[in-house]
Amino acid sequence: MLGKFFKKPHDDLGGRVPPGQTLAARFPVLTYGPTQHYSPQEVVVKITGLAEPRQFTWADLLALPQATLTHDIHCVTHWTKLDMLWTGVRVTDLMQQVQLRPGASHVMQRSVGGYTTNLSLEDFVRPENLLAHTYNGQPLEAEHGGPLRLVVPHLYFWKSAKWLTELEFMDSDRPGFWEKNGYHMRGDPFAGQRYDDD
Ligand SMILES: Nc1nc2c(c(=O)[nH]1)N[C@H]1C(S)=C(S)[C@@H](COP(=O)(O)O)O[C@H]1N2
Ligand SMILES: [Mo]
């Protein structure tokens, strides 16, 4: 009986669902433009800008430690999906291999097909962020960014580039594709940072 009265309110599942979001059962696809199709052997992540230039191939990425993490994902179009299981290389492990130059403070993610999105290094270099190649134990489907995408769960999902091919380090914040089109420069779902005037 008592349990009935002492149960926590679960509308926001203990604070896991940001304001204005509703739970998605399936995994929606959101792409501006066409899905990119290429094989893992063609994956290259180029390090450019304010860093020693280098490239990570598929083999290079698989030679780094692999992590499997469970994340809640929040999209600016109001869906939240809980407990998504991702496998890949932690950004922190990748960055052990990257030599930044003085002044680097931000990064532009660039995708095959031209999508871009910007992050501060503080938001980029976090232990939960992944260069993900596997979702729910299966190779990441092309429509969701396979062979390789970024997953930055603490920000809206537009901050996670699908078909990642370049990380350009910068000495200031510059807008990526959606940010140029009115989206917020940071995109914190719990602060409701959807548009640039939020
Ligand atoms: N390359 C690329 N990455 C992208 C996008 C895109 O259009 N192109 N859309 C972004 C947006 S707005 C969202 S919500 C998520 C959607 O990922 P999903 O299709 O796997 O759900 O990818 C982000 N990354
Ligand atoms: Mo989105």
Q: Exposed/middle/buried for 162, CB within 10 Å: 0-12, 13-18, 19+?
A: buried
Q: Is residue 166 predicted with pLDDT exceeding 90?
A: yes
Residues forming a β-bridge with 57: 44
Q: Which residue, by CA, sits nearest to atom 22 of ligand 1?
A: 158
62: domain range?
A: 43-68+84-184
**CA–CA separation, 123 vs 140, rounded Å?**
23
In a domain, 131, yes or no: yes
The backbone torsions φ and ψ at residue 59, rounded to the nearest 5 degrees and listed phi first, read -65, -40
Tell me the CA end-to-end span of the chain in Å, nearest whole number. Answer: 44
In a domain, 31, yes or no: no
In a domain, 175, yes or no: yes
In a domain, 76, yes or no: no
Q: How many domains does the chain have?
A: 1
The CATH number linked to 113 is 3.90.420.10
| Mean pLDDT, range 38-48, rounded to an integer | 98
Mean pLDDT computed over every residue of the chain: 95
| Mean pLDDT, range 158-173, rounded to an integer | 98
| Mean pLDDT, range 85-96, rounded to an integer | 98
In a domain, 192, yes or no: no
In a domain, 112, yes or no: yes
In a domain, 115, yes or no: yes
In a domain, 166, yes or no: yes
What was the pLDDT predicted at 6? 52
Ligand closest to 115 (CA) is 1
Q: Who wins on pLDDT, 147 or 4?
A: 147
Say how many Å lie between the CA of residue 100 and the centre of ligand 1: 27
For ligand 2, an ion, list residues with CB under 5 A: 30, 75-76, 158
Say how many Å lie between the CA of residue 73 and the centre of ligand 1: 12
Residue 192 in tokens: 């409701």
Q: What is the pTM of this model?
A: 0.94
